[in-house]
């Protein structure tokens, strides 16, 4: 399976609405490849985000094809 690029994963991450306040502004986004130690089955990318509106600390997991596994 071809895994989406980091650039594309970041674009997808930024396109997700904050699960708390439904805004799309992130003051921080740190994206990295998922590792076995993350224990997130099926994840290819993990992003840590801080919402620019409500300051929630969020974690996003993406599958290799860019589908969102979870965002909370
Ligand atoms: Zn928010």
Is residue 29 one of the residues assigned to a domain? yes
Is residue 1 one of the residues assigned to a domain? no
pLDDT tens string 10-46: 999 999 999 999 999 999 999 999 999 999 999 999 9
Is residue 10 one of the residues assigned to a domain? yes
The enclosing domain of 43 has a CATH number of: 2.20.25
Cα 2 to ligand 1 centroid, rounded to whole Å: 31
Is residue 63 one of the residues assigned to a domain? yes
Is residue 48 one of the residues assigned to a domain? yes
Domain span at 56: 6-71
Q: Which residues of 31-54 are buried (b: 16+ CB within 10 A; e: fewer)?
A: beebeeeeebeebbbbbebebeee
Cα 49 to ligand 1 centroid, rounded to whole Å: 10
Is residue 35 one of the residues assigned to a domain? yes
Count how many domains the chain has.
Answer: 1
What pTM did the predictor assign?
0.92
């Amino acid at each position: 399976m071809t895994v989406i690029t980091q650039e594309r994963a970041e674009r997808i991450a930024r396109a997700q609405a904050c699960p708390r306040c439904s805004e799309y502004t992130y003051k921080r986004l740190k994206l990295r490849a998922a590792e076995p130690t993350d224990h997130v089955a099926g994840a290819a990318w993990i992003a840590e985000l801080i919402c620019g509106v409500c300051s929630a600390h969020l974690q996003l997991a993406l599958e290799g094809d860019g589908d969102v596994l979870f965002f909370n």
